[in-house]
Amino acid sequence: MKLFVGLGNPGAKYAGNRHNIGFMAVERIAEDHGFSPWRAKFQGLISEGRLGDERVALLKPGTFMNLSGQSVGQAAQFYKLTPADITVFHDELDLAPGKLRAKTGGGHAGHNGLRSIHAHLGEAYARVRLGIGHPGHKDRVAGYVLSDFAKSDRDWLGDLLSGISDGAVALAAGDAPRFLNTVALRMAPPRPSTGARAATTQKTDPPQPVLPATAQPDTRSMLARLADRFRH
C-alpha cells in the first residue's frame, strides 16, 4: 500500500492557486486512473485505487497547509504505513515553472506543509517538488503562492499534470528515474523530424542502370550480327 499526498488549501477560493498544485497532481491521477470518488476521511479527502500492481490511496488534507501533518499522520496510522510508503506532491518556489524534481528525505526548506509533516512523520518520506517559480523577492512570496496560475501557465501546467499521471505507475513501483523520464517526455516530446532523419539512414538498393530511350535489344543470331560487321 502506498500513500500519495497532494498539498494545498481546501475550498473553491484556493482551487486555482499556485500553492495548490499538489492537489491538482493527485486529482489528475485519480481522474485518469479510475480511482474511487473522493470521500471525507483523515481530516481531508481520500480516494483509493491501483497503479500497476500497487494499491494506492490519494490524500488531500483539509486542514489547511500549515497543519497538513495532522491529516497525513492519521492516514499513515490507519493504513499502517512507514514514511518510505508516502510520497508528497508540493509546490516549489526554487524551481522554474514546469520543472519537477523527486527526492527522499531532507529538510522542509521553510515550506509550511512539509514542516507540519516533518513534525508528525519525520523527514524520511519522498517528495515530488513541482516548480512554480519565484516572484523575485521574499516579501512577495505569500501573495504569489496564494494567487491563481496565469493564463499563460495553462499549457505547461497541463503538460506537467499529464506527465505526472502518465508516470504515476512507475512512481508507485518505486522507479523514480522512469517517472521523471515519463514526465520529461510529456513536457518536451521528440520532434517528428528526428524520425524522418533516421529514416534517411536506412540502406536502400543501388539504382539500376537505365538504357537510353533509343537503345533496343539486338535479337539477331550470332551469324547475322557477324555478317553485318563485315558489310561495314
* Residue positions annotated with a catalytic role: 19
Grid coordinates belonging to 132: 512554480
Are 104 and 124 in contact, with CB atoms under 8 Å apart? yes
3-state helix, strand, coil in the chain (%, to 5): 45, 20, 35
Within 10 Å of residue 102's Cβ, how many Cβ atoms? 16
**Residues forming beta bridges with residue 6, ordered by sequence position:** 89
Grid coordinates belonging to 9: 488549501
Burial class (CB in 10 A: 0-12, 13-18, 19+), 5: buried
Are 94 and 78 in contact, with CB atoms under 8 Å apart? no
Numbers of helices and strands, H then E, in the chain: 8, 7
Of 153, 155, 149, 181, the residue nearest 167 (C-alpha): 181
